[in-house]
Amino acid sequence: MLIAEDFLLMALDVDSGRTRPGLGMLRQQRFAAACLLAELAVQKQAGVRNDRVHLYEAMPTYHPLLSEALASLRERAVLAVGDAIAHLARQLGDIEPRLIESLIARGVLHEGGRRRFLLFGERGYPVRSTQARNEALANALQAASGDTHHMRAIALLLLADGSGSLPLLVDEQAANEGKARAHAFTEEVREVREHSPSTDLFDVHLASMSLLASIHLALAPAAG
C-alpha cells in the first residue's frame, strides 16, 4: 500500500465513499506528488544531497506511479526538493483518480459509486476493505503517538502534519504529540546534517531521512 493510498483510505467515509470534510488533500496535486516523493525516500530510492534530490540505482517498484515518478525525475537535472515536488505534480497527471483505480483493481474500494447528486457532484467509492482502512488509521495514530519509529510511519506523520490534516485523522492529544514529534524530527535531521562530516551526507539512510524532513518543510507553508 502506498502512503498516498493510506491517505486516500483515511479520507473516505466508509459507507458513502466520499471524502470526509477537510480531508481532500490528495486533490491537491502538489500534496499527492509529495506523497510519491516521500515513498521513494522510504524505499531508499531517493534522498537529499547538498539540498538537492538525489536518486539512487533503480530498483523494481511495486506501483506504476512510483516507476513513472522515478523516470520523470531522472529526465531532469538535479532539483531542489520543492522543485522536484512541483515537477512531479506537473508531469504525472491527476494522481488521485489513478490511486482510486488502483485500489478498485485490488479490491480495496468498490467500483462505480454514485454521485452526490444525479448528474454532478463527487462520486463515492465505498470502502470494501475496512481492514486496510483501519490499518491506515492505526498507522497514523501510532506515528503520532510515537509508538513506532519505522521510516514509513515517520513519512506518514510528516505528510499529515505538513498538509494540516493530522488533527482530522487522530484525536486531539495524539495530534498535538504528533505535531511536536514531526517538528522535532525535522530539526534533529537539520542538526545532524549541519554537524556531520560531508562524507556522512552520502549515507543512504541519512539522505533519505533528510528528504522526508525537506518534504515536511516544503509542505508546511502551504498548510499554514
- Mind listing the pLDDT tens digit for each residue in 2-48? 999 999 999 999 999 999 999 999 999 999 999 999 999 999 999 99
pLDDT of the residue at 197: 59
Write down the residue that cell numbers 533528510 correspond to. 210
Cell numbers describing residue 153: 510511519
Structure letter (DSSP) for residue 19: B
Please write the tens of the pLDDT for every residue from 203-217: 888 999 999 999 999
Q: Is the pLDDT of residue 155 over 60?
A: yes
Domains of the chain, with CATH numbers?
3-223 (1.10.3630.10)
> Contact at 8 Å (CB) between 6 and 139?
yes
The angle, 0 to 180 degrees and rounded to 10, between the axes of the packed helices 29-42 and 3-11 is 130
Cell numbers describing residue 181: 514529534
pTM beyond cutoff 0.85: yes
Nearest to 45 by CA among 62, 59, 65: 59
Cell numbers describing residue 185: 524530527
Residue 57 pLDDT grade (very low, low, confident, very high; cuts 50, 70, 90): confident
Nearest to 79 by CA among 67, 87, 71: 87
* Helices and strands (DSSP H and E) totals, the chain: 10, 2
For residue 45, the Cα-to-chain-centroid distance in whole angstroms is: 15
> Across the chain, what does the average pLDDT equal?
89
Residue 193 pLDDT grade (very low, low, confident, very high; cuts 50, 70, 90): confident
pLDDT of the residue at 107: 95
